[in-house]
Structure 1
Amino acid sequence: MTAPIVHLASVGTCLPGDPVDNATLAKLVGVDETWAEMFIGNATRHFTVDLPTGEVRHTLADIAATAADRALTQAGLEPYDIDCVVMGTATPDQLMPATVNLVADRLGIDNVPTYQLQSGCAGAVQALDVARTLLLAERCGTVLVIGGDVCAKHLETDFDLGSRTSAELVNYVLFGDGAGAAVLSHEALGQRVVIRQVLNRLVGLGREPGQVVDWFGLGDRHTDRTAVFEDYKAIEEAVPALAQQTFWELMEDLGWGTHELDFLLPPQLSGRMSDRISDGMPAPNARRVNVVRHVGNNGNALPFLQLEELLRQWDGPGRALAVAIESSKWIKSGVALERS
C-alpha cells in the first residue's frame, strides 16, 4: 500500500490597505526614519486601521476570507471541495465565535471540522502541521489552512508624540497586518509541491516568555498591566540559535545536504534580523526568500507571504526549507518542501 503524500496545492494572501512607509510613520507617531531603516530594516507595512483617524477598516475575518478565497481560486477548487479548515492566529477578532468559523461562513463552507490555534509566529506552521496530520491519517482529502494577524489593534493612534518610549515606537515599525491561506491535498493539484516534513516543538521549559500579549475583561479593564510586552534582548539572543537548531533538525531528519537546498525561508522578525539569521544557516546554493521588509512582521500571515513569493520564484524541481520561531514561550517550527 502506498503511503499518503501531502501536497501544497496553492497559496493566497491579503494585505490590507496601502503600504505605510517610514516617512509616514515619522509624521504620525514620531518614529525616526533613519533609525527605522538602520536598526529594524522594514521599509513598509500594512494596517487594518487608518492611523491618522484610528478608523478600523478591516477585521481579521475580512482579510482572512479574502486570502482563503484566493487560495481556493489558485487551486481550482470550490468551497464545497474543502473537508476541513484550520486557522492559526494570535489576534482573533473575538474570543468567541472563533474567527475560523466566521471565515468559513463567509466562504460558504459548512458541515466540516474546524480548528483554531492560538499562537504567534509559529501558529501558521502549527496549522499546517494539524492539516498534514489529518491528511496523513486519511481523515480528510483537502484542507484549507489559514494564518493571519491584526496587530494594529494594539497600536494607539491618539497620543502625545513625546509620551512614547523607544520600545513602544519599535512596534509601529516592526509589525503589520495581513492574512494568508493554503490548500493542502492528497491530490497533486495546482503547484504540485510536496510537504516532506513539518517540525513543531515547544522548547520553553523554565524560560521566561519573550513576548506577552494580554487581554482584559470588564472586571480588570482598569488594570495597570501592560497589554503588549516584548523582551527584545532575549529575542535577539535566542531566536538565531533556535533557528539554526530547527534548520539542522529538519535537514538531518530528511537526509538533505546543505548544497541540495534551493530556497531558504528564514524567520521574519525584521528585515535586519532576518538577514542576520539566514546568514547563520549554511545553504550556499539557496535563494533567500525575505518579504518582511515590505509587509512588516504580520505574525501568522508571514509564512504564507513567504510561500507565495517562493512559488513565484520556484520554476522546476528543487527543495525549500522554511523556519519560524515563536518567542512568546519559545517554539521551534519549520516546513520542508520538495518539487520533482
Structure 2
Amino acid sequence: MTTTHLAAVGTALPGDPVDNSALAATFGVNAEWVEAFIGTRTRHFARDLTTGEIRHSLADLCAAAAGQAMERCGAEPTDIEFLILGTATPDHLMPTTAAQVADLVGLDQLPAYQLQSGCAGAVQALDLARHLIGSGEYRTGLVLGGDVCTKHLDLRRDMTAAAPSDLVNCVLFGDGAGAAVVTAEPYGEAVALLRTLSRCTGLGREPGQIIDWFGLADRDTERQALTEDYKAIEESVPVLAVEILWELLDDLGWPPESLDFLLPPQLSGRMTRLISDRLAVPGAQEISCVDRTGNNGNALPFLQLDDLLPKMGRGQRALAIAVESSKWIKSGFALEKA
C-alpha cells in the first residue's frame, strides 16, 4: 500500500477572536463561569453577534484554508485529483459544500466527497484519503474539515436563567475550517500518515449529541436544533480517548515513550486538560488549540496540525485522537516525519 504524506496544512478562522466578556454581553452569561467551567478564552464566529449578519459560509472558510495549504506546498488546482470534506454543518443539504469548495478553489472533473460527521469527520476524511492514495490510483488530493456552529445560536434568547446544559452550547463552540494537501510522494512537510482509525462504537447507546435539520413540516417547532448530554460526554470521552491511544500504539508497535507529540481531543479547554492527564504520556508535547479557537468541530485536527508541523523534526512521531459523541465514534491517526 502506497504511503500517504501530508505536504501542507492550511486553516481559516473567521473574524477577530470573541472573548468571554463579549459572550457575556450578548447572552447574559457569566464570563468567570465560562473561564472556570469551560476553560475556553476565545473563539471565532462566522456571524456577527450584534447584527446577526452571516459574514462567512463554511464554503468560504474551507476555500480559504484550501488555498493556503496549496500555496504552502506549491500545489496547483491541476495537481489535485480528489477532494474530501468532513463536516457536521454544511451550508446546504444540496448542493454539497464539498462541490461548492471545489468550484471556489478552481477544481473540476474530479471526485468531491462530503462526509457528514461531527468531531470524527476530519479523521474520516483523512482515512478515506489514505485509502485513495494507498490504492495507487491517485497521487495528490485535498482533505478538508470545518464547521460553522453559530448558525445554531439564537442571538435573541436571554440565557440569564438557562440551565448549564443550555449555556454550554452558547459558549463551547466556534467556527473555522482546515485543509491538508495529501500526496503519494514525500514533499513539502513530508509527514507520513501511517495509520488512521475510524470506528463507530455506539451499539445500544443513546446519542451524546443531536443536531436536527428542520424542514417545512416542523419549521415552527420549539425544539432546539442542537442538544447534548454533556454529562455523558464528560464521562465517556476520556475513556474512549485512552482506548484509541492504546489501540493505535499497539497497532503500530510504538511504545508510549516513543511519542514526541500528542494531539488530544479538543472538547473545551477544561475537558482537554482532563483528558490529557488521563492519557498520561508525559514524554510527549501536547498540541492543543481549543482554549483559543473554541470547539469548531472538524476544523480542530487541522488547527492542531498547523501548530504541530513546524515543530516536527526528522524521525519524530505524533498521535492524534478525536472522539465523536453523537453516536460514539472513535477516531485517530499517527504521523511520522520522513
Q: 1:159 offset after TM fit, Å? A: 2.6
In the TM superposition, what are the counterparts of 1:94-243 in structure 2 within 5 Å?
Answer: 94-162=92-160, 164-243=162-241
Q: Find the residue that maps to 1:132 and give its secondary structure.
A: helix
Deviations 1:151-176 (A, max 9, x none): 00000112334454332221222100
- Distance in 2 (CA, whole Å) between partners of 1:237 and 1:29 is 27
Give, in whole Å, the separation in 2 of the partners of 1:334 and 1:160.
Answer: 38
Q: Which moved more, 1:152-161 or 1:171-180?
A: 152-161
* 2:314 corresponds to: 316
The alignment of Structure 1 onto Structure 2 pairs a total of residues equal to 338
**Following TM superposition, by how much is the alpha carbon of 1:70 offset from its aligned partner in structure 2, in angstroms?**
0.4
Q: 2:302 aligns with which of 301, 304, 325?
A: 304
* Alignment of 1:75 onto 2:73: yes
Amino acid at match of 1:145: V
Is the Cα contact below 8 Å between 1:258 and 1:284 reproduced in 2? no
Listed as ranges, the gaps of 5+ residues in structure 1 are none
Which is further off, 249-258 or 160-169?
A: 160-169
TM-score of the aligned structures, taking structure 2 as reference length: 0.98
Is the partner of 1:10 in helix, strand or coil? strand
The 1-side partners of 2:250 and 2:110 are apart by: 36
Which residue number in structure 2 is paired with residue 268 of structure 1? 266
Partner of 1:255: 253
**Structure 1 stretches (4+) deviating beyond 6 angstroms?**
none
What SS does the corresponding residue of 1:305 show, helix, strand or coil? helix
Q: Distance in 2 between matches of 1:163 and 1:276?
A: 28
Cα deviations by residue, 1:131-187 (Å, 9 ceiling, x for unpaired): 110110112110100100000000011233445433222122210000000011001
Alignment deviations for residues 35-93 of structure 1 (CA, whole Å, 9 cap, x no partner): 11111100000000000111110100011100000011111111110000000000000
For residues 14 and 21 of structure 2, what CA distance do their matches in structure 1 show?
A: 19
CA distance in 2, matches of 1:159, 1:231: 21
Provide the C-alpha distance between the structure 2 equivalents of 1:158 and 1:294, rounded to a whole number of angstroms. 25
Provide the secondary structure at the position in 1 that maps to 2:177: strand
| SS state at 2:196 partner | strand
Task: Tell me the distance in 2 between the aligned counterparts of 1:80 and 1:164.
Answer: 51
Is residue 41–residue 272 contact of structure 1 (8 Å, CA) maintained in 2? Answer: yes
Tell me which amino acid in the other structure corresponds to 1:264: L
The CA deviation string for residues 248-273 of structure 1, in whole angstroms up to 9 with x for no partner, is 00000000001100000000000111
Q: 1:24 aligns with which of 19, 22, 34?
A: 22
Tell me the distance in 2 between the aligned counterparts of 1:18 and 1:262. 32
User: For the structure 1 residues 226 and 105, does the alpha-carbon distance in structure 2 shift closer, same or farther, using more than 3 Å as the test?
Assistant: same
How many angstroms does 1:319 deviate by?
0.3
Cross-structure match for 1:329: 327
Q: Distance between the aligned counterparts of 1:158 and 1:189, measured in 2?
A: 49
Distance in structure 2 (CA, Å) of the matches to 1:121 and 1:8? 20
Deviation at 1:317, TM superposition (A): 2.6
Query: Contact conserved, 2:313 with 2:337, CA < 8 A, in 1?
Result: no
Q: Which residue of 1 aligns with 2:87?
A: 89
> In percent, how many aligned pairs have the same letter?
59
Q: Give the aligned partner of residue 59 of structure 1.
A: 57
Deviations 1:78-132, CA, capped at 9 Å, x for gaps: 1110000000000000000000000000111000011000000000000000011
AA aligned to 2:65 is A
Given residue 336 of structure 2, which amino acid in structure 1 is its aligned partner?
Answer: E
In 2: Cα distance, 1:223 partner to 1:54 partner: 21
- Rounded to whole Å, the distance in 1 between the matches of 2:159 and 2:319 is 42
Q: Is the 8 A contact 1:258 1:282 kept in 2?
A: no
State the distance in 1 between where 2:299 and 2:159 align. 29
Task: Please give the TM-score of this superposition, normalised by the length of structure 1.
Answer: 0.97
Q: Secondary structure of the equivalent of 2:71? A: helix
What code does the residue aligned with 1:85 have? L
User: What is the SS of the residue equivalent to 2:303?
Assistant: helix
Match of 2:293 in 1: 295
Greater Cα shift, 251-260 or 163-172: 163-172
